[in-house]
Structures are given as structure tokens and as C-alpha cells.
């Protein structure tokens, strides 16, 4: 019996549409990361033009991270109730509204209000969008899509810096803040008008492939907790490293360019996505282990003030951080189960990341103040070893469950 060419063509068109819809959601995440990082390039101008103190600007910067730390898991439960796509669209609309309001306001109170609106939309979007990718992406593409999602913050920060360099010098900081809202607005409209509910697409594709694999893995609550803890450790590592890298670079007379080091984070994200596209989701926890193991080795050679820094180790540490972050998100299908939907696993990961965002800089600063640069090296090494130990039980349980 030969396959109906019409059904095959419809199935191919539906698969292409699903892929493009996932790309729209991924790009929407990148523009959300841009909103997260857009305050840092204009700190000096906000201080000079509006007279804000550095403490006030710190709140403008950290407010979104605070919302993620406090509300990620409750938001995941809300997303599970209303649906990933609906929540993604609502979050995108709210985030867009806040992004347009921020440059319109002059007073700190109104700017904090606009940033709060952004924070509400951001936390909803960054929980719902990866859950949509889990439900909507083709099974073979799912780990790659989630790994790419793991790059949305560093890529968004990089875009914010590039855009600020172009726009601020020519038109001022308000023009930059407006320009940051433009790609978000465009992709929000694309999501509203063009991205469909995954259930509708699944109904179309099931006629051609009724026995397609389920989206839920065979994970446990323990796997999800360990995976979230791995991400929290990664955030502690990343912020502890990047927060004080510029200060250390000043001590080395410019031999260590922090901007160049930061560019290697998305390179690690892209490698993880490429590897998971070739392999499968079950290999993602192994990538997390490899990333932490090599990070522990690289960290041994960081922040030695009496020596000229070996740039290779700094680049490697940043690169491996990107690899770890993307591999953690790529592990979500493995950690999910019928009793623990992927959206709740993502919520746990985001919650751990938010807590790490709040704790990372103060912890690293305390170690640096009390014990010095060598102690910061020891902290980063120890955290890397801890991350490797946390992922080992996931790998052992997965190996026991794998059929011979």
C-alpha cells in the first residue's frame, strides 16, 4: 500500500510550519533577553540625565530578576493551567507594553512601575515559551530547540550592547530604549497573528503519523530538583565570574578584555544546540556533566593577581557556561513525566536561576572582600565540582532505566 502523496505533502507543510513557529518563539525569547539587558549600557546616562543614584539604577536592573526568583514556580503552575501558547502571548504583550512605557517616563517611581510591568510579562514569557517548544517542536528537534532557548539571555545582552553602541551615541538613551522595544513588538505581533496552538497542529500531523512519540519523559521529581539545582549553580558560577571580571581586568592592564570573554557564552550555547541536534535528549545531562567537569579545571587558572592571565582559560570558562545552560534546558524532556509536566520543570529551573541571580554577586563579593582573588578562584572551582556531583544521580538513574 503506497502513501497518499497529498497526505505526505500536507504533513511536510505542517512540519515546516511547526519549525518556523518555534523559531518565532525562540526569537521572541531573545528580544525578552534584550529587555533584561538594556539598562546596563545606559547606566551613566540614567545617572546623568535623570539624576538617579546607582542604588536606584540597580533596582531598575534587578527588578526582573527579583520577579523570576519569587514567582517562577507559581507562574509555571499558572502556565500549566492556561496553556503554554496563551501564556506566551499574554507575557509578550505585557512585556511589550512595559518596554514602550519605560522611555516615556522621567521619574524613578514611574520608571520602576514600567519595569514592574516588564517583569510580569517577562516571567510569564520565559516560563511559557520553552514549555511551548517542548509541546510543539518535532521530537527530533526538541533538544536542539531547548538548547537554543538556553542562549536567550546572553544573546539578548549582546544585542543590547551592540544596539546601544549604535543608537545611544547618535540619538540618546531614550531612542535606544524605544529601539529595544521595536523587535519585541514585531515578534509579539508575529506570535499573536501567526503562531497557532500546538494541539491544532498535532491533530493535523497525527493523521500522517498517529504513533508519534509523547512529549513527556520518564523523569522523577528528584531529577527535576537536581536539574534545577544544576542551573542555580551555573548562575552562581556565571555571575560570580562576570560580575568581577572587569575589576580584575583593570588590575591586568587591559590584557583581559571582558567583552571578548562574554561573547564566548553564546558560542557554548550554539555548540550544545548543535550536539543535541545530532544526538538526543538523553545525552543532555551528560553534556551538563562534561561542562561542569571542564569548568572546574578551567576555574583553577582564573583570578591569580600575581600572574598574567591566560586568556584561553577565561574564554573556556565562559564557553562552558553557555554549554551548561543550554544542556540543562535540553535535559527538560528527560526530567519531565506525566505527573510532572515540562512547564513545571522549567519553572523550577527558572526559580533556581532567579535565586542564583540574587545570591551570586553578593556571595562572590563577600569571598573576594574577606579572602581575596585566590579564594574566588576556589569558589568557582568548588561550585563547578558541586554542579558535576548534582548531575551524576540523573545519569545513573537514566543508565539503569535504559533498555539493554
> What does the pLDDT look like over 93-103, one tens digit per residue?
999 999 999 99
Q: 289-298: string of b/e by CB count within 10 Å (b at 16+)? A: bbbbbbbbeb
> What does the pLDDT look like over 206-254, one tens digit per residue?
333 333 334 445 778 888 999 999 999 999 999 888 888 888 887 877 6
pLDDT band at 2 (very low <50, low <70, confident <90, very high): low
Q: Supply the pLDDT for residue 12.
A: 72
Q: Supply the pLDDT for residue 47.
A: 74
User: Is the predicted pLDDT of residue 120 greater than 80, yes or no?
Assistant: yes
Domain boundaries, the chain: 5-139+152-206, 221-401
Q: Supply the pLDDT for residue 268.
A: 94
Find the distance separating the first CA and the last CA of the chain, reported in whole Å.
34
CATH of domain 5-139+152-206: 1.20.1250.20
> What does the pLDDT look like over 61-78, one tens digit per residue?
778 888 888 899 999 999
| Rounded-to-integer distance, Cα 117 and Cα 369, Å | 36
Q: Supply the pLDDT for residue 402.
A: 58
Residues near 72 by beta carbon (within 8 Å), at least 6 away in sequence: 123, 127, 347, 348, 350, 351, 353, 354
Taking residues 154-165, report their average pLDDT: 86
**Nearest to 187, CA basis, from 30, 17, 79, 64:** 30
> What does the pLDDT look like over 311-323, one tens digit per residue?
899 999 999 999 9
**Nearest to 320, CA basis, from 397, 255, 390, 233:** 233
Contact 146, 93 (CB under 8 A): no
Tell me which of 117 and 61 has the higher pLDDT.
117
Q: Supply the pLDDT for residue 10.
A: 59
For 41, half-sphere exposure in the C-beta direction (CA atoms, 13 angstrom radius) is 27
| Rounded-to-integer distance, Cα 315 and Cα 233, Å | 19
Write down the pTM of the prediction: 0.84
| Rounded-to-integer distance, Cα 326 and Cα 261, Å | 18
Tell me which of 387 and 138 has the higher pLDDT.
387
Tell me the CATH number of domain 221-401, given options 1.10.3720.10, 3.30.470.20, 1.20.1250.20, 3.40.50.2300. 1.20.1250.20
Calculate helix-pair angle for 264-278, 284-299, nearest 10 degrees: 150
Q: How many CB atoms lie within 10 A of CB 204?
A: 16
| Rounded-to-integer distance, Cα 48 and Cα 37, Å | 19
Tell me which of 281 and 182 has the higher pLDDT.
182
Q: Supply the pLDDT for residue 6.
A: 58
Mean pLDDT of the chain: 85
Contact 394, 285 (CB under 8 A): yes
State CA 136 to chain mean position distance. 19
Q: How many CB atoms lie within 10 A of CB 16?
A: 10
- Cα Rg, the chain, nearest whole Å: 21
Q: Is there a common fold for 5-139+152-206 and 221-401?
A: yes
For 340, the 3-state DSSP assignment is strand
| Rounded-to-integer distance, Cα 342 and Cα 212, Å | 18
Tell me which of 160 and 294 has the higher pLDDT.
294
pLDDT band at 202 (very low <50, low <70, confident <90, very high): very low
Contact 37, 157 (CB under 8 A): yes
Contact 126, 29 (CB under 8 A): yes
| Rounded-to-integer distance, Cα 270 and Cα 30, Å | 14
Q: Supply the pLDDT for residue 204.
A: 37
Q: Supply the pLDDT for residue 207.
A: 34
| Rounded-to-integer distance, Cα 321 and Cα 287, Å | 11
| Rounded-to-integer distance, Cα 344 and Cα 79, Å | 9
For 337, the 3-state DSSP assignment is strand
> What does the pLDDT look like over 16-57, one tens digit per residue?
888 999 999 999 999 999 998 888 787 777 777 777 776 777
| Rounded-to-integer distance, Cα 12 and Cα 108, Å | 52
Question: For the purposes of burial, counting CB atoms within 10 Å of the CB of 394, is it exposed (0-12), middle (13-18) or buried (19 or more)?
Answer: buried
> What does the pLDDT look like over 254-310, one tens digit per residue?
677 887 888 899 999 999 999 998 887 788 999 999 999 999 999 999 998 777 778
Contact 97, 81 (CB under 8 A): no
Amino acid at each position: 500500500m503506497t502513501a497518499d502523496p497529498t497526505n505526505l505533502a500536507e504533513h511536510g507543510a505542517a512540519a515546516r510550519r511547526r519549525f518556523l513557529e518555534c523559531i518565532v518563539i525562540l526569537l521572541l525569547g531573545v528580544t525578552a533577553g534584550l529587555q533584561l539587558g538594556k539598562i546596563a549600557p545606559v547606566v551613566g546616562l540614567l545617572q546623568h540625565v535623570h539624576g538617579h543614584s546607582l542604588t536606584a539604577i540597580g533596582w531598575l536592573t534587578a527588578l526582573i530578576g527579583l520577579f523570576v526568583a519569587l514567582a517562577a514556580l507559581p507562574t509555571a503552575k499558572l502556565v500549566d493551567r492556561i496553556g503554554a501558547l496563551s501564556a506566551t502571548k499574554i507575557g509578550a504583550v505585557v512585556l511589550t507594553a512595559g518596554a514602550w512605557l519605560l522611555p516615556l517616563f522621567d521619574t524613578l517611581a514611574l520608571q520602576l512601575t514600567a519595569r514592574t510591568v516588564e517583569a510580569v510579562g517577562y516571567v510569564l514569557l520565559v516560563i511559557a515559551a520553552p514549555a511551548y517548544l517542548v509541546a510543539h517542536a518535532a521530537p527530533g528537534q526538541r533538544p536542539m530547540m531547548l538548547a537554543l532557548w538556553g542562549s536567550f539571555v546572553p544573546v539578548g545582552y549582546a544585542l543590547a550592547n551592540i544596539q546601544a553602541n549604535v543608537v545611544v551615541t547618535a540619538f540618546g538613551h531614550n531612542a535606544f530604549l524605544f529601539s529595544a522595544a521595536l523587535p519585541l513588538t514585531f515578534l509579539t505581533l508575529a506570535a499573536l497573528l501567526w503562531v497557532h496552538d500546538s494541539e491544532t497542529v498535532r491533530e493535523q500531523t497525527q493523521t500522517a503519523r498517529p504513533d508519534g512519540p509523547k512529549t513527556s519523559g520518564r523523569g522523577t521529581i528528584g531529577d527535576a530538583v537536581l536539574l534545577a539545582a544544576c542551573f542555580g549553580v551555573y548562575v552562581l558560577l556565571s555571575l560570580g565570574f562576570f560580575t568581577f571580571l572587569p575589576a580584575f581586568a583593570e588590575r591586568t592592564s587591559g590584557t583581559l578584555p571582558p567583552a571578548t570573554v562574554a561573547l564566548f557564552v553564546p558560542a557554548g550555547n550554539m555548540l550544545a544546540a548543535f550536539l543535541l541536534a545530532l544526538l538526543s535528549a538523553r545525552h543532555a545531562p551528560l553534556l551538563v556533566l562534561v561542562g561542569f567537569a571542564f569548568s572546574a579545571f578551567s576555574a583553577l587558572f582564573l583570578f591569580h593577581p600575581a600572574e598574567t592571565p591566560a586568556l584561553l582559560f577565561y574564554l573556556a570558562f565562559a564557553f562552558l557556561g553557555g554549554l551548561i545552560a543550554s544542556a540543562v534546558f535540553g535535559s527538560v524532556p528527560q526530567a519531565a513525566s506525566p505527573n510532572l509536566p515540562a512547564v513545571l520543570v522549567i519553572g523550577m529551573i527558572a526559580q533556581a536561576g532567579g535565586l542564583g541571580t540574587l545570591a551570586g554577586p553578593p556571595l562572590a563579593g563577600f569571598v573576594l572582600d574577606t579572602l581575596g582573588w585566590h579564594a574566588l578562584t576556589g569558589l568557582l572551582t568548588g561550585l563547578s565540582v558541586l554542579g558535576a556531583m548534582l548531575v551524576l544521580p540523573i545519569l545513573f538513574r537514566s543508565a539503569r532505566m535504559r533498555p539493554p
